[in-house]
Structure 1
Amino acid sequence: MVDELSITGVECFAHHGVFDHERRDGQVFVIDLVLGVDTRAAAASDDLADTADYGTLVDSVKAAVERDPVDLIETLAQRIADVVLLEGRVEWTRVTVHKPDAPIQATFADVQLTITRRREASAGERTGKAEGPA
């Protein structure tokens, strides 16, 4: 059994995008995370060591977003999922990357991509398959 821990609205400033001006000027990206974590041990012990340390995890995600520009939000979302799944207590993650200032010639509220990635139970490794939480 896993529970869901959500962290929403993590703002990052980075230089991702296909266009030269995106790479040069940068823009805000907003990250939402949902972590599949069994929280029963932490609830019983009231000890941070028994759960995913979301403060440290957010620091790692923010650093991953703000380094090494990529062209696509698909690549960025996968990078974030890979970082999240390095946390041993996270069984799966749902990552949403928001790009509110995407270069679109129309009035719009947001561009967002959501991916779900799961750690393989047998090997303890994550997959590249887009699987939902189970």
Structure 2
Amino acid sequence: MDHPTATPTAPDPISDRLSVLGLEAWGHHGVLEHERRDGQVFKVDLTLGVDTRPAARSDLLRDTVDYGTLSTRVKEAIEHDPVDLIETLAQRIADLCLEDERVAWAHVTVHKPDAPIEATFSDVALTITRRRG
């Protein structure tokens, strides 16, 4: 009896993941007037597809994504230029991540734990994934 042979699929060329989790900043995003006026905490989780082999070989920061600098830029993106929607904020952050050509994709979660909801809840979160190109 013949068995079909599975054609192996190529592995994802960028399977390494660099994550920064729980990045916190004060922002004035939201559609309600008091959200814009008073602000609230936003938290962000980033996971980036980065080939870490060049940095592993060289042991040099210049050969990888500087997550310290990126974290500062993401914090500034949260703190400035208020927008209505966390969808817009998440896209802004993903665009920042993809500015580094070594980042093949960015997985961004924006948490809004103090969203104005008339119910008991622990978090509101939006997750997006954006790819280069």
TM-score of the superposed pair, with normalisation by structure 1: 0.88
Of 79, 82, 85, 2:92 maps to: 79
Aligned partners of 2:85, 2:35: CA distance in 1, in Å?
11
Write the letter of the residue equivalent to 1:14. Answer: G
Aligned partners of 2:82, 2:54: CA distance in 1, in Å?
38
Cα deviation digits, residues 81-106 of structure 1 (max 9, x gap): 01111112111000000000000001
Structure 1 or 2, whichever has the larger Rg, is 2
Aligned partners of 2:90, 2:71: CA distance in 1, in Å?
14
Structure 1 residue ranges (4+ consecutive) displaced by more than 2 angstroms after TM superposition:
none
Determine whether 1:117 maps to 2:130.
Answer: yes
For 1:28-107, list aligned pairs within 5 A.
28-107=41-120
Which ranges in structure 2 are unaligned for 5 or more consecutive residues? 1-12
- Report the 3-state secondary structure (helix = DSSP H, G, I; strand = E; otherwise coil) of the residue aligned with 1:117: strand
**Identity across matched positions, percent:** 69
Which ranges in structure 1 are unaligned for 5 or more consecutive residues? 121-134
Q: CA deviation at 1:64?
A: 1.0
Aligned partners of 1:20, 1:4: CA distance in 2, in Å?
38
Q: CA deviation at 1:65?
A: 1.2
Matched pairs, number:
120
TM-score of the superposed pair, with normalisation by structure 2: 0.89
CA RMSD of the aligned region, Å? Answer: 0.6
Aligned partners of 1:85, 1:65: CA distance in 2, in Å?
17
Q: Which residue is equivalent to 1:5?
A: 18
